[in-house]
Chain A
Amino acid sequence: MNENLFTPFSTPTILNQPATIPIILFPAMLVLTSKHPINNRLATIQQNLTQLILKQMMMTHNAKGQTWSLMLMSLITFIAMTNLLGLLPYSFTPTTQLSMNLAMAIPLWTGTVMVGFRFKTKNSLAHLLPQGTPTPLIPMLVVIETVSLLIQPVALAVRLTANITAGHLLMHLIGNAALALSTTNFSLTLLTSTLLALLTVLEIAVALIQAYVFTLLVSLYLHNNT
């Protein structure tokens, strides 16, 4: 099925029709919404988790920053579900595509920058110069800070893409190695245990979502409050 290493990352097709959009929309079906106050265990745990993450993330913001809660919560849920579903065999992970991650990162980053410049222009411009720099260095430092600001969306997107892709690729490679060595059958157990360890580490792909949203969150925080 996977004749080379690129096939897991190519556009998924169902009967030669691109199936990307249904695959991207699929994790939404797994997030339960319920109007009952008391649900079954799965819904309760999901609700509880969402509440926990929401409280954790949105406590540090003022009222203005908290208007972004829905956006950020759906972001973290989407990325987490997508990444976790991508761990399953024979599945396609949309977040391995740079196009999608850029499409997520650039609008959100631009939104935070614009909010900051719109409502707190002086503060946002003041962030382009760190405190306590000696006067001759100021022009250079402003340029450097601007560049570091402009590179934020690219960094966000590329970080997510690279991490997920690398993880998937590594799993494929180690699987291939295990397959090839299974005929000789002596280091199979060693490799399977390595694969196992890598998988557990890869399930900290969910931590990457945390990193993603936190980075975004930090930038929003800075822009809005200080």
Chain B
Amino acid sequence: MLSRVVLSAAATAAPSLKNAAFLGPGSFFNHTGLGVPLKTTKRIRASICTIITCRVLQATRTFRTGQPHLAPIPPLPEYGGKVRYGLIPEEFFQFLYPKTGVTGPYVLGTGLILYALSKEIYVITAETFTAMTLIGIMVYGIKKYGPSVAAYADKINEQKLAQLEEAKQSSIQQMQNAIDMEKSQQALTQKRHYLFDVQRNNIAMALEVTYRERLYRVYKEVKSRLDYHIAVQNMTRRKEQEHMINWVEKHVVQSISAEQEKETVAKCIADLKLLAKKAQAPLVM
């Protein structure tokens, strides 16, 4: 406990020593720079402080004869003991209660005050009026502003507690969120097979489509080749036909002589006249 106090005192003294580095005579040397920058001298001073503190603590170990607390000490009470009239603890009234009842301490107090006054153990001087006025002002001030100041102090403490609580809660909340996300991820992995099924189906369909497309293409190719052959055949036959017709016509025309042509033309005319007569006759009828 003492060591903690001394160490904390040294720790608070260390910055003040750092401050004093500017005020102390060494500051001149530090600043003129014997090649040493100021920050390292500050650190050296702080380390020297702790070294000296440790040495002092070791050296004075023989003087600290009380038992150190090796177990955790009980915590300080949150509120002080109950006090009546701001000065006298309640335990005093409880102490006198069995013997003198409720009015015991008051009678004792009054008696003591009157005794001191009458025997001039307490002399009424100018200070008495000062004391009375001061006590009056203090009581008035405390009665008027006491609760609000106490509430303010409580509020400050509440804020500090709330901050720490907030930090704790937020970290717990973060952990919880992480746990929930992990759980949901785990749940998702259970449902992965749907995804795989869909993908599998998609691939099978794509394969089928490709297969059919190729089949159709093959069919079309074969058909076009066969169509080509058929077209060639048709074309050759037609050409042969035309050629034959042309040859026959040519020869027929060659074979027809001029006389035969005249004879045939006259015969055709005679036939036509006959036909005309035949046609007119049914009409008249």
Contact = CB atoms under 8 A, between A and B. Distances in A.
Q: Tell whether A pairs with B.
A: yes
Interface stretch (B8-16, B173-181, B192-200, B226-234): B8-16
Contact of B160 (A2, A37, A176): A37
B133 A192 contact: yes
Interface of A: 1-2, 35-42, 44-45, 48, 64, 67-68, 70-71, 87-90, 111, 114-115, 118-119, 171-176, 178-179, 192, 195-196, 199-200, 203
A2 B123 CA distance: 10
A88 B134 contact: yes
A182 B31 CA distance: 67
A31 to B, nearest CB: 13
Contacts, number: 99
Interface residues of B, number: 40
B279 interface: no
B63 interface: no
A41 B153 contact: yes
Nearest to A171: B130
A79 B94 CA distance: 40
The main secondary structure of chain A at its interface with chain B is helix
A41 B150 contact: yes
B41 interface: no
B8 A90 contact: no
B129 A175 contact: yes
Interface stretch (B17-25, B54-62, B263-271): B17-25
Interface string B126-142: 11111111101100000
Contacts of B221: none
Given A41-B150, A48-B153, A192-B133, 10 more contacts: A41-B157, A67-B15, A89-B130, A119-B31, A175-B127, A175-B129, A175-B130, A195-B133, A199-B134, A199-B137
Given A48-B156, A70-B16, A115 B127 contact: no
A176 B150 CA distance: 37
A169 to B, nearest CB: 11
A45 B156 CA distance: 9
Contact of B80 (A40, A45, A89, A111): A40
Contact of B16 (A71, A87, A178): A71
A2 B130 contact: no
10 contacts: A2-B125, A2-B127, A38-B157, A38-B161, A45-B149, A67-B19, A89-B134, A118-B28, A179-B124, A196-B133
A178 B28 contact: no
B22 A196 contact: no
B19 A70 contact: yes
